[in-house]
Amino acid sequence: MKTAIIGFGGMGCRHAYSLVKGNQFDEIYVVEPNKFLFLENCKRIEIDNSFFIYLESIEELPLNIDLVVIATSAEPRFQIFEKISTKGVKYILLEKVVFQKSSDFVKAIEICKSKGISTYCNFVNRYYPNYIEIKERIGKAKNIQMIVSGGEYGLACNSLHYIDLFQYLTGLFPDLDSTLIQINNAKHKRGDNYKEVIGTLKISNKKGDSLVLISDLNKCNEVEISISFDNEIHILNESTLVHLTYKNQLPIEKKEFQILYTSFLTNILSIDILNSDCKLPSIEETFKSHVELFKGLNSCFGLSELDNCPIT
């Protein structure tokens, strides 16, 4: 069994840690043009670099790799995906933002169909026990309302995690209703090629369920998620890791909000992917979420819907 990780930055090395500890693969390739970064991040995760087969380019990868994890920033990801698809790979796991424009999705979906590649997108909220429980409790409930509120948490790129969670909980594709956003002029930690916003995004679906995402510089940076349906309200805090449940406006339960981190979760994902039992959305399932977000953001950035949306 062979796996490869493309990009060995903060996310890539955490994927690698999980796959080494899981011991599912006989060979783990790492493609990272910056060898110094590769060696430094091996030290960071306390895994000896001898556990990996280090390569500087995708062209050096052997054929017929079982699983490839693409953990680069968004800008080069489609070109990397195209190269990987020629290598006889069976499964691909993509980080968000998956691609930066709708035409790349269309091409990638066609590639997957023609080459028989199963491609998943790493929206891990679907694996969190608290959200799985909430989905079970929702059942056939009507009028699901979700609010995500916080400070400078990266509304442009990180909103996709919550839009996908909304899609998972409701079982329907999202539609962008309205935006009240402006460019966040703070320097982007990923470089000048990428932009961020603050403000409010409003999402709905054809059943009338709603999602509101708020990024307000006057708020602290912790993110709070409120999910309400029927007579229940669930409030989950990503900083305090507390999950509060209210029924008929009365508190009935307080418990831990369990966040499963990449360094633990990727091995579980790899097993589920190889067994065709993965909860993550496919590239087809996340297409509409991205396109709807691009509409609102590109308008704010002064770009057309067909342009690259400069988020990662």
- Asked if pLDDT for residue 56 goes beyond 80, the answer is yes
- Asked if pLDDT for residue 310 goes beyond 80, the answer is yes
CATH no. for 129-258: 3.30.360.10
Strands (E), the chain: 2-6, 27-31, 53-55, 67-70, 91-94, 118-121, 145-150, 175-184, 196-204, 210-215, 224-229, 232-237, 242-247, 250-256
Report the topology of domain 2-124+264-281. Answer: Rossmann fold (3.40.50)
Task: Give me the chain's average pLDDT, please.
Answer: 96
pLDDT at 172: 97
Which has the closest alpha carbon to 170: 202, 207, 200? 207
Q: What is the mean pLDDT of residues 201-221?
A: 94
pLDDT tens-digit series, residues 72-100: 999 999 999 999 999 999 999 999 999 99
Q: What is the mean pLDDT of residues 30-56?
A: 98
pLDDT confidence bin for 306, thresholds 50/70/90: confident
Residue 182: other Cβ atoms inside 10 A: 10
- Asked if pLDDT for residue 185 goes beyond 90, the answer is no
Give the predicted TM-score (pTM) of the model: 0.96
pLDDT tens-digit series, residues 98-142: 999 999 999 999 999 999 999 999 999 999 999 999 999 999 898
**What residue segments make up the domains of the chain, in order of their start?**
2-124+264-281, 129-258
Q: Kindly tell me the burial class for residue 54, based on how many C-beta atoms sit within 10 Å of its own C-beta (0-12, 13-18, 19 or more).
A: middle
Higher pLDDT, 210 or 193: 210
- Show Cβ contacts of residue 45 under 8 Å, excluding neighbours closer than 6 positions: 13, 14, 16, 17, 263
Residues forming a β-bridge with 190: none
